[in-house]
Amino acid sequence: MTSNEKIPIPKMNRSRWGHPLVFIASIIGLAGSSAVYYAQIRARQKARNIFLEQSFYKEALELTQGYK
């Protein structure tokens, strides 16, 4: 086999979306990016809840120090 021989590329019926693999890859990419987006939102909410909890307990401790 010489280097200038062309390897036949299997013909796929082209839709108006282009190659089917490009369409599938874009769906996978979209799903991945939305998963990352929602994970960041959840992490932010969790961090906020922990911070509010800590500040609540700190304030409660400071308030109860006077009642010893």
| Structural domain boundaries in the chain | 40-68
The CA distances from residue 18 to 23, 27, 29, in Å, are: 7, 14, 16
The model's pTM is 0.47
| 10 compared with 30, residue with greater pLDDT | 30
Q: Which tens digits make up the pLDDT trace of 11-49? A: 666 666 577 888 888 999 999 999 999 999 999 999 999
50, HSE (Cβ side, Cα atoms, 13 Å): 6
| The pair of three-digit structure tokens given for residue 49, joined into one six-digit string | 């809840």
